[in-house]
Chains A and B, each alone.
Chain A
Amino acid sequence: MKHPLLACALVAAITATALTPSSSTLALGNRPLSPGTGSLLGLGGGSAALGAPEALLVQTLLAIASSQFDIALTEIDKVLLQNPNFRLAHLIKGDLLMARARPISSIGSASDAPMERLADLRDEARARLVRHKQERPLNRVPRALLQLDPAQKYAFVVDTSKYTLYVFENDKGTPRYIADYYTTIGRNGIEKLREGDKKTPLGVYHVTGNLPREQLSKTYGTQSALYGDGAFPLNYPNEWDRRRGRNGHGIWLHGVPFDTYSRPPRASDGCVALTNEDLQAISKHVQVGLTPVIIAQDVEWVEAGSAKTTRNTLQQSIESWRRDWESRDTEQYLRHYSTNFAAGKQDLAAWATQKRSVNADKSWIKVKVDQVSMFLYPGDENLAVVTFEQDYSSSNTSGKMRKRQYWQLEKGGWRIVHEGAA
């Protein structure tokens, strides 16, 4: 018969995803893939869970896996009714129909199909299944989110290996998961190094702007169609990237062209793209200049509150740095700086010389540090990005600024390796 073959093909696809090495550090159990338990259906992404296109699509795949082809066809038609440009849904519908005409052996049985596009859609199916299987981090947080600044209402964390953007709400200092979305990343993967390498950077970034549709059209004309509903530029290359000689620019969070519901998991020039609907959803959470976007290859999840030790140690280091600065004991203050310190063209020696001469003229210094956020750097757990409001006053000058420091955990404690305006 025809149908069992289709079921086999899709079951194979689903099983294959189970074998995909999922984040080894991920402490989350995978849900069993048993269609019809119902409990699965509420898991489909953050965009309104049940009834969201991805949840419906996955339900279709599960219906196929359990040989309920008529249900699958009804479900997929529902998906397409809502999202007529959902290409992956069209592909699956094609398979469901084709299976009635002749036996088919894999997802996307279109004859003479361009292999690359077919492979893209298969990748998307796999990525969405993996996403769906993932338990939502209801009681867990990415280890990197050490502390949110009270003004930061939300934080975004992108897991590039899961093609997922997670949204966390700042619940009195504790990040709380509220939603996640399928994302597209660079076609050549991650670890952006150079202009044009079509890779997505890994690191701690912040949203630096908001380009809604009208603005995009005005600035970029028809070319802006690529970005769909809007875009949020990020500060790539950040201080750490520049220091390591990484270049390129224009890494944004943005939507997708209007002729498609979504893009394959790896398709962008390095940006993180979301469906237009999802972009709209996250745009409600964006605070330009404030919202952190942490892009990591494999997000490490920990129990909420378990990062306390790291946070406290780092907090104490910052506080000690602040007090030593106020004390005008410059040598004591300089002990907080690493021998690897650099800020722009200044190395530690230049920095020390400058600080010594500036502090010598002062009879008093007062430093207030407020609104502190602390994030561990993806791929380097001994590096932390600390941003705060600094209110500095002294006997002869004063000023307020938003400051960013990179602290590195060295033998003997945390030391500053970079400092500058945020």
Chain B
Amino acid sequence: MTFKPAAARLAIILFCMGLTAPALAQTDDLQEAQQLLKQGQTGRAMERVEQYLKTKPKDARGRFLRGILLTEQNKPTEAIRVFTELTQDYPELPEPYNNLAVLYASQGQYDKARGALEMAIRTHPSYATAHENLGDIYAKMASQAYDKALQLDKGNQAAQTKLNLIKDLFTGGMRPPKVALAQTVPKSAPAPAPPARPITPVPAAPAAQAAPPKPAPAPVVAAKEPVKEPVKEPAPAKATPLANNPDAVLKAVNSWASAWASNDVDGYLARYAPGFKTPDGEPRKTWESERRARIAKPRKIEVRVEAPKVTFNDANRATVTFRQHYRSNTFKVSAGKKLVMVKSGNQWLIQEEIVGG
């Protein structure tokens, strides 16, 4: 498992740090980059950020945003490097630590994640996000320990579900810092340029946040500037991750198994897609009548699905692998099984059934 599950609150922080007061044009670069990010155009956003960093290579906001973009582009190693350097250059900022922790957690490196969060809390003891994330990390570490204690299968369903959850969060749910950062001005802050804008946090996705985001207090130099509205409405969650809900797939697998176990032939056959590939390429009718004859026989059987694992090929196609335990009064067999599932309307149906493995 390379991408370890993390609970819902473990969200990357995206915000505009009130560290510098750069020239207007440059700030525009950064704001545009943020807007592009919200539209999902990470490539173009990255171009802007890099443009910006050419003139201000040490700038915390620019580098922070670059870290977010690298995370978005699924380049955790580079993102970790960016956030690590930020913690070195600006050790008093909790946010880079927090995001570092999220990245470590996503790689299953919970000890490192814990260390990073503890640093975030040390710099800002009342930093709620880090406290919440730390709680989640402890829960994750606990569940790792429980897995070892109880010899639980790592590829279990819960882990899969959460894995998707965190993907959602990376694309959709950003939360603002709960600490006003404008007060922390790093030593390396460049001389303020006169027409600086007040720095406002990017609003979080509404669902992910408890309190409405408060804009950071404007720096004194910009006191007369009106507080700007948040740059953009929260980015809508992307469509695909929500569709990839393994629970729905597993529900379908379970009702297939229970229809089978209760000799409910119609219920059982209804779980197969119209385009189901029969095992030997026989006509669907032949296959159905054979199954009907077998399954309808009233007898006591047991079908158990163990350790199912769902992989999405795309939003409408998923593969479920599991261990199938079948037991009747005369016969008992356990084998690996693979079901290729397709989404048809609201339902997941079986497209192909492969035994073995």
Q: Do A and B come from one complex?
A: yes
User: Could you list which residues of chain A lie within 8 angstroms of chain B, going by C-beta atoms?
Assistant: 87-91, 93-98, 100-102, 108-110, 112-114, 117-118, 121
Q: Tell me which of B142, B144, B152 has the highest count of chain A C-beta atoms within 10 A of its own C-beta.
A: B142
CB B289 to nearest CB in A, in angstroms, measures 40
CB B152 to nearest CB in A, in angstroms, measures 7
Majority DSSP secondary structure for residues of A touching B: helix
- The residue on B at minimum CB distance from A85 is B148
- The residue on B at minimum CB distance from A117 is B150
B143 touches A94 (CB 8 A): yes
Q: Within 8 Å CB of A98, what residues of B?
A: 138-139, 142-143, 146
Say yes or no: A90-B146 contact (C-beta < 8 A), given A112-B158, A113-B152. yes
Distance A117 CA – B148 CA, assembled complex (angstroms): 11
CB A61 to nearest CB in B, in angstroms, measures 15
Number of interface residues of B (CB under 8 A): 17
Selected from A96, A101, A110, A112, the residue in CB contact (under 8 A) with B149 is: A110
Distance A102 CA – B138 CA, assembled complex (angstroms): 9
B136 at the interface (CB under 8 A from A): yes
Selected from B139, B148, B151, B152, the residue in CB contact (under 8 A) with A101 is: B139
Distance A109 CA – B146 CA, assembled complex (angstroms): 8
Distance A87 CA – B144 CA, assembled complex (angstroms): 12
Q: Within 8 Å CB of B144, what residues of A?
A: 94
A94 touches B151 (CB 8 A): no
Q: Within 8 Å CB of A97, what residues of B?
A: 138-139, 141-142, 145
B150 touches A118 (CB 8 A): yes
CB A380 to nearest CB in B, in angstroms, measures 41
- The residue on B at minimum CB distance from A98 is B142
16 additional A-B residue pairs with CB within 8 Å, beyond A91-B146, A97-B138, A114-B152 = A87-B148, A88-B149, A89-B149, A90-B148, A91-B149, A93-B145, A94-B143, A97-B142, A98-B142, A98-B143, A98-B146, A100-B134, A101-B138, A102-B135, A112-B158, A113-B152
Q: Within 8 Å CB of A110, what residues of B?
A: 142-143, 146, 149-150
Distance A207 CA – B143 CA, assembled complex (angstroms): 43
A113 touches B138 (CB 8 A): no
Q: Within 8 Å CB of B143, what residues of A?
A: 94, 98, 110
Say yes or no: A91-B150 contact (C-beta < 8 A), given A97-B145, A112-B158. yes
CB B18 to nearest CB in A, in angstroms, measures 32
- The residue on B at minimum CB distance from A96 is B142
Q: Within 8 Å CB of A90, what residues of B?
A: 145-146, 148-149
Q: List 6 A-B contacts (CB under 8 A).
A: A87-B151, A93-B145, A94-B143, A98-B146, A102-B135, A114-B152
Majority DSSP secondary structure for residues of B touching A: helix
Q: Within 8 Å CB of B151, what residues of A?
A: 87, 117
A87 touches B149 (CB 8 A): yes
Q: Within 8 Å CB of A89, what residues of B?
A: 149
Q: Within 8 Å CB of B149, what residues of A?
A: 87-91, 94, 108, 110, 121
CB B6 to nearest CB in A, in angstroms, measures 12
CB B159 to nearest CB in A, in angstroms, measures 11
CB A419 to nearest CB in B, in angstroms, measures 50
A87 touches B141 (CB 8 A): no
- The residue on A at minimum CB distance from B146 is A110
Q: Within 8 Å CB of B148, what residues of A?
A: 87, 90
Distance A326 CA – B259 CA, assembled complex (angstroms): 83
Q: Tell me which of A95, A109, A110 has the highest count of chain B C-beta atoms within 10 A of its own C-beta.
A: A110
Q: Mark B121-163, 1 if CB is under 8 A from A, else 0.
A: 0000000000000111011011111101111100000100000
Say yes or no: A108-B136 contact (C-beta < 8 A), given A87-B151, A113-B152, A117-B151. no
- The residue on A at minimum CB distance from B136 is A101
Q: Within 8 Å CB of B134, what residues of A?
A: 100
- The residue on B at minimum CB distance from A120 is B150
Distance A95 CA – B144 CA, assembled complex (angstroms): 11
Distance A358 CA – B146 CA, assembled complex (angstroms): 70
CB A293 to nearest CB in B, in angstroms, measures 30
Distance A87 CA – B146 CA, assembled complex (angstroms): 8
- The residue on A at minimum CB distance from B139 is A101
A121 touches B150 (CB 8 A): yes
Distance A97 CA – B151 CA, assembled complex (angstroms): 18
Say yes or no: A108-B135 contact (C-beta < 8 A), given A87-B151, A113-B152, A117-B151. no
Distance A90 CA – B142 CA, assembled complex (angstroms): 9
- The residue on B at minimum CB distance from A76 is B145
CB B128 to nearest CB in A, in angstroms, measures 15
